[in-house]
């Protein structure tokens, strides 16, 4: 079989980018476009091993694992590396099977395999259809998972020795993270902390003395702005229906003056138990 280098690189770039987006959706993690393209480019570069002489099976498996970890580390960082790599590998197997099934339905084509890299002699339309189908199915399960995680929560945290317990919602759309530590950020309405904030002239002054105080850049549908945030002395999250089964959470808390008081807090889905 003749292997075309441009087809090999572009098809792997497209497939890896789609798989990373599907993995990000299932894991409820943000994936910036440029970072996703960089990670997909790393995956496409690893596909060049199909041009090497046949390698031992054990070495191929090690090489494939290193490639998957490198791609997911570039896309998502090291904090969720095991989870995202497992999702990426699982989706890769599913996508490969989908493309193979479509190729057999449309017209039997050849698959060339060497060093665990598969070169498929498929048309661009088959590749696009296979990617779209696999991404659509993963998005369906992601939405089902989002509905399951949207149940109400209880957010407990301590500020300056004072404890607060707020009703909260798990929000898959809250992908806000601290740019310095990478920790997820829960957003609390200032009205929910009125009993403590009322002793200070404004929210920023109140939080400036808290541990880990910083101003976080936030982009919403209304535009970009800064939210004051801090590292609580202690924080736990639990399901409303099971408040005693609280889990410790490693997250920051931002305070918004214009957040709806009927929703005291929004917790990112990745921090929900």
pLDDT at 99: 59
Between strands 185-189 and 252-256, the pairing is parallel
Lowest average pLDDT, out of 10-14, 15-19, 84-88, 242-246, goes to 242-246
Averaged pLDDT for residues 33-42: 88
In 3D space, the residue among 82, 75, 76, 7 whose CA is nearest the CA of residue 44 turns out to be: 7
User: What is the total residue count of the chain?
Assistant: 273
Structural domain boundaries of the chain?
Answer: 5-148, 152-271
Average pLDDT over residues 180-205: 87
CATH number for domain 152-271, candidates 3.30.43, 2.30.30, 2.60.40, 2.40.70: 2.40.70
| pTM for this entry | 0.46
- Per mean pLDDT, which range of 84-93, 103-112, 179-188, 223-232 is the poorest? 103-112
Strand extents, DSSP E, 129-180: 152-159, 162-171
What was the pLDDT predicted at 243? 60
Instruction: Provide the token pair at 265.
Output: 């807090």
Residue 264 predicted with pLDDT over 70: yes
For position 248, what pLDDT does the model report?
84
Predicted confidence at residue 107, as pLDDT, reads 47
Segment 192-196 mean pLDDT? 86
Average pLDDT, the chain: 77
């Amino acid at each position: 079989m003749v292997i075309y280098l441009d087809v090999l690189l572009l098809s792997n770039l497209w497939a890896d980018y789609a798989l990373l987006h599907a993995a990000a959706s299932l894991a409820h993690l943000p994936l910036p476009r440029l970072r996703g393209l960089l990670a997909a480019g790393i995956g496409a570069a690893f596909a060049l091993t199909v041009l090497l002489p046949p390698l031992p099976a054990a070495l191929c498996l090690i090489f494939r694992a290193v490639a998957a970890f490198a791609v997911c580390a570039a896309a998502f960082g090291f904090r969720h590396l095991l989870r995202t790599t497992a999702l990426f590998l699982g989706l890769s197997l599913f996508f490969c099977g989908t493309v193979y099934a479509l190729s057999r339905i449309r017209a039997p084509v050849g698959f060339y395999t060497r060093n665990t890299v598969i070169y498929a002699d498929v048309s661009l339309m088959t590749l696009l259809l296979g990617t779209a189908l696999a991404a659509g199915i993963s998005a369906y399960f992601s939405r089902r998972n989002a509905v399951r995680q949207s149940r109400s929560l209880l957010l407990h945290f301590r500020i300056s020795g004072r404890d607060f317990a707020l009703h909260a919602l798990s929000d898959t759309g809250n992908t806000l993270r601290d740019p310095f530590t990478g920790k997820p950020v829960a957003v609390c309405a200032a009205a929910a902390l009125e009993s403590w904030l009322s002793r200070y002239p404004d929210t920023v002054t109140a939080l400036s003395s808290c541990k880990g105080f910083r101003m976080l850049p936030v982009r919403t549908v209304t535009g970009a702005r800064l939210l004051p945030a801090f590292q609580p002395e202690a924080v736990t999250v639990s399901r409303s229906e099971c408040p005693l089964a609280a889990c410790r959470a490693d997250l920051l808390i931002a305070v918004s003056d214009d957040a709806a008081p009927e929703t005291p807090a929004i917790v990112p889905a990745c921090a929900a138990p």
